[in-house]
């Protein structure tokens, strides 16, 4: 009688490495090669470059502007996170103040794969759900970190900034995109003032579902004038236009 592997069902429902088996004191060759490949892809994601021209071309019916952070190259970006949180000298002058409701920022972050593959798609799926809000031109940032969106929001006069950024790759996914939503952002805004949606990719949260969650948070934030720990996410799974009461932490 053939022996049934009790972990087969679990392995079929997760990308995590479960019950890899062993050969002597080591894991099987196939599992080792898969691990080495995943590690190589994670390194490529971190050190890769986003083709922002392609990202801009993938955006539908919205202009884009490309800026640079104060990190002059990838090596500096990885060693000095603080430089990725602010624009290079003179770059803020390229922003045109417009009293916008929402500004989208796309930054390379720590996964070029994620930004290249999903960022424009998330923007394109989200904008139609924002119910006629005034949207700023999309800002594309080389060597950017999450907080760089604060300076950009301030320069544009945007009530809410949504920064889409490549998340730190793991060994189960090297192409995960994150979205950070901040109301009333300005230089020095703490991370506690942001709402985060993570794990956006084809094996995690799909871009269309991420867009619905982003739109819900934006509309709730505009109702109460804040994001972050003061806005508890009680996102309805069937959301398109939510009439549900906002849940606010007292």
Q: Give the integer Cα–Cα distance in Å for 237 and 212.
A: 9
Q: Count, in order, helices (H) and strands (E) of the chain.
A: 8, 6
141: pLDDT confidence band, cut at 50, 70 and 90? very high
Q: In angstroms, what CA-CA distances link 223 with 47, 171, 219, 231, 242?
A: 40, 39, 6, 11, 12
Q: Give the integer Cα–Cα distance in Å for 14 and 151.
A: 39
Q: Which pLDDT score is estimated for 132?
A: 86
Total-model pTM: 0.86
Q: Are 66 and 52 in contact (CB under 8 A)?
A: yes
198: pLDDT confidence band, cut at 50, 70 and 90? very high
Lowest mean pLDDT segment, chosen from 9-18, 85-94, 133-142: 9-18
Question: What is the mean pLDDT of the segment spanning 137-162?
Answer: 97
Domains and CATH numbers, the chain: 52-230 (3.40.50.11240)
240: pLDDT confidence band, cut at 50, 70 and 90? very low
Residue 241 is classified by DSSP as S
Q: Give the integer Cα–Cα distance in Å for 98 and 156.
A: 6
Q: In angstroms, what CA-CA distances link 179 with 75, 118, 144, 241?
A: 24, 11, 13, 20
Q: Is the pLDDT assigned to residue 13 strictly greater than 80? A: no
Q: What is the DSSP string of 55-84?
A: HHHHS-S--EEEEEBS--SHHHHHH-GGGG
Q: How many other C-beta atoms lie within 10 A of the C-beta of residue 41? A: 18
Q: Give the integer Cα–Cα distance in Å for 142 and 144.
A: 6
Q: Which pLDDT score is estimated for 17?
A: 78
């Amino acid at each position: 009688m053939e022996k049934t592997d009790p972990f087969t069902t679990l392995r079929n429902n997760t990308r995590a490495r479960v019950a890899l088996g062993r050969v002597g004191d080591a894991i099987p060759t196939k599992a080792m090669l898969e691990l080495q490949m995943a590690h190589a892809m994670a390194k490529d994601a971190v050190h890769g470059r986003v083709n922002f021209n392609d990202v801009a071309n993938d955006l539908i019916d919205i202009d884009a502007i490309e800026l640079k952070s104060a990190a002059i190259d990838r090596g500096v970006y990885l060693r000095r996170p603080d430089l990725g949180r602010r624009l290079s000298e003179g770059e803020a002058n390229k922003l045109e103040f417009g009293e916008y409701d929402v500004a989208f920022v796309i930054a390379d972050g720590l996964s070029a794969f994620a930004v290249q593959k999903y960022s424009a798609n998330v923007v394109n799926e989200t904008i139609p759900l924002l119910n006629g809000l005034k949207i700023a031109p999309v800002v594309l940032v080389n060597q950017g970190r999450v907080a760089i969106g604060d300076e950009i929001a301030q320069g544009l006069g945007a009530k809410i900034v949504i920064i889409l950024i490549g998340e730190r790759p793991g060994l189960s996914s090297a192409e995960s995109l994150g979205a950070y939503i901040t109301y009333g952002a300005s230089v020095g805004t703490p991370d506690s003032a942001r709402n985060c949606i993570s794990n956006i990719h084809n094996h995690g949260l799909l871009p269309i579902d991420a867009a619905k969650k982003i739109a819900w948070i934006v509309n709730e934030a505009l109702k109460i004038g804040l994001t972050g720990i003061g806005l508890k996410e009680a996102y309805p799974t069937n959301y398109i236009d939510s009439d549900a009461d906002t849940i606010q932490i007292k």
